[in-house]
Structure 1
Amino acid sequence: MTEAEKTKKRKKEKVAKEVDGDRPTASRGRNYTLSLAVASSVVGNVRNISNAASVAAQIARAAVAGLVDEIVVYDDERGASESTSSFLSLALQYLETPPYLRTVLCPLEATWQTALQKLGAIGAPHHLGQTEWMPYREGVVLKSSSQTTQIEGGHAFIDAGIDRMVYVPMHLPVMARVTLFLGDQPTSKFVSEYSETMIIAEVVSAMTPRMKHGLYNGFVIRVATSLHAVMKECPYKSGYDLTIGTSVRGVQRGHADLVLPRFSHGLVLFGGMYRGLADIMQYETDFAGKNPEDLFNIFLNICPSQGCKSLRTEDAVLLAIGYLRPALLHYGGDKGNIQC
């Protein structure tokens, strides 16, 4: 390699390092979470199931791109049809689930399944092919025993989408979805009672890939009956310590002026198809006498001077993630209050 080629290579490596400097890697975990709250009415006025599925897919792809850990689907209209929140939550769950697990874990109505299957892949990193090897994989428990002559405490056999069954030396509920640690290289074991060689794995928390290695492992779905329930029923003990409401009525901030508090659990909220967040708050009695500025850390306009009269939620989600991502990476977890 000539000196000029070496110099060119060093420049490329420097640029790559600068571009990816904030991305979680296998050597650095991510100790904060990001949640989105979307209104069920986003699929309430679409013409058919195919269009509704497309809306769900757009939200799912944006969530994966932004490393979203939780999506909350909430009812934003009094007496809203359960079918809208049910479809959106089930569609998002279907899209997040690795394809090799969908038949077992996500049984859907035929029309829903057909519409979702026609959509392209969302590109989630935990959607692995049969021959792709990663330290972590999602699987489903097919068989389990609480007693065994070989290992005290039981064992389980898991389908993880590879050419062999996975063996775990512990009892697990059948049909449960689990996160497996397989290591950098496969380790196998001959299981005499089934006369089959299986891969040995360890069951870990679904949060382990993110917290230990910075590897994205998909999002969970939560359904809330109201905007108030989105906040009140937070799954984290400390609650959401960063809440960002999005609205055309919100304040405008350039990237350089967007300063966030240090946070562990962030939540970005979007209004409904017919009502924005401010109108939904007026509609819910739990927020009587409160303004958006009282509820959210920041009430933000994520698309100033927009060309359309109103943004659809699926478009707003993608725009918000792109707009907020640099700030979220800087202020999330233990990185401190560094201005972007």
Structure 2
Amino acid sequence: MTTASRDDGKVSGGRSWTISMAVAGSIIDNTQSHELASLVCGVEIRQLAGQIARAAAIFRIDEIVVYDDSEKSAKLSAKSRKWNECAADTGGAFLARLLQFLETPQYLRKSLYTMHPSLKYAGMLPPIDPPHHLRQSEWLPYREGVVLEKRPDDGGSFVNVGIIKDVRISQFIKAGTRVTVAMGEDSSYKRLFGKKLKAVPPTEPREKMGLYWGFSVRLASSLSAVFTECPFEDGYDHTIGTSEHGEQPNPTDLEIPPFRHLLVVFGGVTGLEHSLREDSSLEVEEVSYLFDRYLNVCPEQGSRTIRTEEAILIALQYLQNPIQRACSRGE
């Protein structure tokens, strides 16, 4: 990725390109299938989600797609679950909710999330601490907030942005909505309270100033839906699959073309090959045909298995320099 400061994840100028990663929801189903007490199992699952969220923040991932990669996962019923605290969720839905919660600044969580079994103990996980998780006294040109029920007499909305006093924005937005607020150029918050600020698209901090602004979370019903439900108008223009069966280029020799939206896909415990077999809408013979590159990022591994959260860290570090080179060529 591009060089960023520790404080705000800022790169020089704006950034139009994005990096997405897709993770199989079956990693949650696999964790819960062990013969463990439900409490212990629940803690292990949350730790797994926390590790994935931290990896995404460290490597400045813009979108995480969680996909259900088998009919068993997608149709999992309450009776078939070994753990009972969130029986209505598939593994993918459970993981997506936890990731979304962890991405949300701490000062907004009580307003944006009702009590839910899957979020039990989630607040105890290590914070991912991206730039938009600002402390009360910290300043950046943008802040995340939630629209409040009370309204200014002269129109617009009040927003809690995590500072000593609520701010006003010019737009009338439904209460309870999460918004990104442009805070202006004056770092003295006291001067803001008499002004009307503006809610902006959540992509503006990245596109206008090059700030890393956390990740969005998307839930896909299958591997194919990762591609077909892409939120970007022209889809992902470069895709990478990861597998022990993939090619093994040295990262110094790996060339990634300039891109607008890069996608890196990780399989479940049994790999992307299994995800392909379980997706009836995909008609390709080899899963590698789905991707522009199909890579083994950890050749000659000493362990017979690499856990998904380990594979994510290995792969994102492996791809860091090739991505830097691709982005520098695209500027």
Tell me the TM-score normalized by structure 1.
0.83
Match for residue 19 of structure 2? Answer: 34
Match for residue 166 of structure 1? Answer: 167
2:46 equivalent among 32, 49, 53: 53
Say whether 1:229 aligns with 2:225: yes
1:318-337 deviation per Cα after TM superposition (whole angstroms, max 9, x unaligned): 111111112122213xx326
Match for residue 104 of structure 1? Answer: 111
1:1-340 map, 5 Å: 25=10, 27-46=12-31, 47=36, 48-80=41-73, 81=76, 82-109=89-116, 111-143=117-149, 150=154, 154-185=155-186, 186=188, 197=193, 200-273=196-269, 275-332=270-327, 335-336=328-329
Counterpart Cα distance in 1 of 2:251 and 2:11: 28
Judge conservation of contact 1:142–1:159 (CA < 8 Å) in 2. Answer: yes
The alignment partner of 2:149 has SS state of strand
Counterpart Cα distance in 1 of 2:184 and 2:21: 31
Match for residue 84 of structure 2? Answer: none
Counterpart Cα distance in 2 of 1:20 and 1:97: 21
Counterpart Cα distance in 2 of 1:64 and 1:141: 25
Structure 2: gaps (5+ residues): 77-88
1:26, distance to aligned residue in structure 2 (A): 5.7
Distance 1:114 1:278, change over 3 A: closer
1:24, distance to aligned residue in structure 2 (A): 6.8
1:240-264 deviation per Cα after TM superposition (whole angstroms, max 9, x unaligned): 0011000000000112110012110
Quote the RMSD (CA, aligned, Å): 2.3
In our comparison, the structure showing a higher alpha carbon Rg is 1
Counterpart Cα distance in 2 of 1:291 and 1:35: 22
Amino acid at match of 2:214: G
Counterpart Cα distance in 2 of 1:330 and 1:312: 28
Structure 1: gaps (5+ residues): 1-17, 191-196
Judge conservation of contact 1:260–1:331 (CA < 8 Å) in 2. Answer: yes
Judge conservation of contact 1:41–1:84 (CA < 8 Å) in 2. Answer: yes
Judge conservation of contact 1:188–1:200 (CA < 8 Å) in 2. Answer: no
Counterpart Cα distance in 2 of 1:136 and 1:26: 15
How many equivalent residue pairs?
Answer: 305
Amino acid at match of 1:96: E
